[in-house]
Amino acid sequence: MAKTNEMLSFWRGFDLASGKVTGRHHSLYGERFTYGILAMPLDLLKPLVIFRLDG
Q: What is the CA radius of gyration of the chain?
A: 10
Q: What is the pLDDT of residues 22-35, one digit of tens each?
A: 999 888 899 887 77
Return the pLDDT at 49.
61
Q: What is the per-residue pLDDT for 39?
A: 72
pLDDT at site 47 = 61
36-48 core/surface letters (b: 16 or more CB in 10 A; e: else): eebebeeeeeeee
Q: Which residues, given as ranges, of the chain have pLDDT below 50?
A: none
pLDDT of 6 reads 81
pLDDT at site 29: 93
